Amino acid sequence: MKKVAINIISSAKIFAERKIENLDEKRLVPHMMTRRRLTRNSKVMLFLSDKCNFKNGKIVYGSCFSELEETAKIANAVLEKEMLSPTSFQNSVYNTAPSYFSLVNKDIDEIITISSGMKTSLDSLKVAALQALVSKEPVLCICAECINIKNIEQINRCTKYLEAGAAIVLEIAEDEEGAQEIMNLPIEGLIGSLQDLVSVVNMNEKGIKKILIEL
């Protein structure tokens, strides 16, 4: 397996047990009609990318459960034999969040979407490192999970935090000198699909700027 060293340019994370209260969407998305259509994952992505000072460029976006709220709305409409919401249908795909990011920021660069169960953020990191290696450009690696839907407490066994996300902007380092392997620095109770990327964010917050990624 090949290992590459990455530099972390910026990083951010956010999480809440029920709902993240302030995602600053009025500032980030001034256009009201667009703002009203945003999913929770989209709001988390826009917030974290802003914290990372990333507006344009290549993106690797990961989510295990993706747009669960919109999918639940569709399933409930089918169950109740009601008309499907065109907005929910439009917002139910895995690339919803990065697509809104592209619209808001007029970003026309490449987007890769990853869903890999509890390995989602680790695989997203690997793909982002490979993307940076090939393109020679900075890449935003971001993962989000928003599963605060009706009756979620009846089936949730995987997280204490129903809304969460993490992001880094990375580039390929010139050499491996001083680079560290990914440490296991989890947030207790956070969903496993975010833990690897959260560990990298936590490393960066401790002052570690160069990390080895095994492709």
Query: Can you name the residues that pair with 139 across neighbouring β-strands?
Result: 58, 170
Whole-number pLDDT of residue 70: 83
Q: What are phi and psi of 103, to 5 degrees?
A: -65, -45
168-179 average pLDDT score: 95
Which burial class, exposed, middle or buried, applies to 157 when counting CB atoms under 10 A from its CB (0-12, 13-18, 19+)?
exposed
pLDDT band at residue 75, thresholds of 50, 70 and 90?
Answer: confident
> Is 15's pLDDT higher than 90?
yes
What are the pLDDT digits (tens) for 78-112?
Answer: 877 888 777 887 888 889 999 999 999 999 999 99
User: CA-CA distance, 11 to 4, in Å (whole number)?
Assistant: 19
Whole-number pLDDT of residue 88: 80
Give me the architecture of the 3-214 domain, per CATH.
3-Layer(aba) Sandwich (3.40)
Given a contact cutoff of 8 angstroms between Cβ atoms, the answer to whether 145 and 65 are in contact is: yes
What are the pLDDT digits (tens) for 140-152?
Answer: 999 999 999 888 8
pLDDT band at residue 24, thresholds of 50, 70 and 90?
Answer: very high
What is the chain's percent helix, strand, coil content, to nearest 5? 40, 20, 40
Q: Where in the chain are the domains?
A: 3-214
Element (H, E) at 171: strand 163-172
